Chains A and B, each alone.
Chain A
């Protein structure tokens, strides 16, 4: 038993209070409450953990550790690939720190949770507007697991056994998808692309798409940054065979790019992190999930969905969780998904973010990002030995950079950039796609100033051609 220690988080540990409570329930020792734990299993020592620290010590300890890290603010960083540096307005941070939101949980009691419920309904509505879909849920964990859920949903809808995904897909998303569908025995086949443009090989898609295809999945912008332009053709090929069309998106592109709902998508998944969420070393993220409005689809949708309703007496509009009969706490082993805790606070951040930017703001942001990324591609491709981008298609914010002609590996170039120039290069994709040779995936957004882009180009020039590496 813990004897005298009183921690500010544990008020009744004050000895007098504790005694009084024990007296009330008729015990002399806390251990009497653990009598039913078999003795042989009891831990007969204290847990091997550090001694309690004061708040000041906790703060020092964590800050000292974190001071060993470099953040993207300390060095121009050109990483993306599923998690991106975007500006998070101060308003968004202020809103998600409101402890009425922060310290609440799933709105099981809607009458005292109208705040988060309405915010989630607004989030869902704005995701629908962005994607041009009818229904969105109030979040899944991230894009990768959202894709897994989407494919499972497709299988529930048409009982088919194969999925078609592009050869150019984020490897972590592919790995997660495999994990999610393996128990169902779903076979994942990949579809190649035109090596020049990166665009999906439609003939191959036609050959592979059959009556066994549950869904065709594409990413737009693609994992390697280029924009897939044959979207209507892909949708038609999928639909002709009765397969669903699932599209993975970066929502920050959707005031500029055509929304997937306008080119035949049945399910849309994506990463909501760019909309007002910090990178946090890769999590929490925000799994976006939307689908068409047919009841058949809605009933198979995973995750919490908030609906607009009225009070029972009809006098007031209000919000509550809808369609809970799909969910695990009601339907148990027959549920559409097991998800319970989701990423509501990240969805709240995105709702606030979209409200801040508005339609025009989001379009200007998209254009700014494309312009800066294009500027970076132009500067980089002027460097001897560099090819950027590898694919001859329009790109959004990410693009491939190849160092093959410079005779250097991505690894050596990036080490030199980091060590001698304080610049962090993009993600090395040379092992993911060996056919691309020494290639990296760079990301440029509104947070990269022109000076930083120029600094990157200068640094690469030095590393590759001046020879001081």
Chain B
């Protein structure tokens, strides 16, 4: 029988939250948002192809519909959450000095919240206003 190849900690350890006290939450949310991204990004790309044009009026009219604004907001949530987790892992892998690492993680958090707020506000203002 082949030896089972394990690339992660035992499930019993992480279910008990392990040494980081957060269990597999980060890892799991990376996968959950990955699946969300696949669905929402394919919808987004197909929509861009199918739009009559990418002019201002055409884009505004498209986003103003609830059936577009809602998935677009979900896309922002899923994609931005996903990239925050991914970039965080990269910082943790490459930045080893404690102070620099903390500053980099803080900058990342500010970046994702600022960009996320801007994107969400833009969608909402189109959906609620500029009809």
Co-assembled chains A and B = no
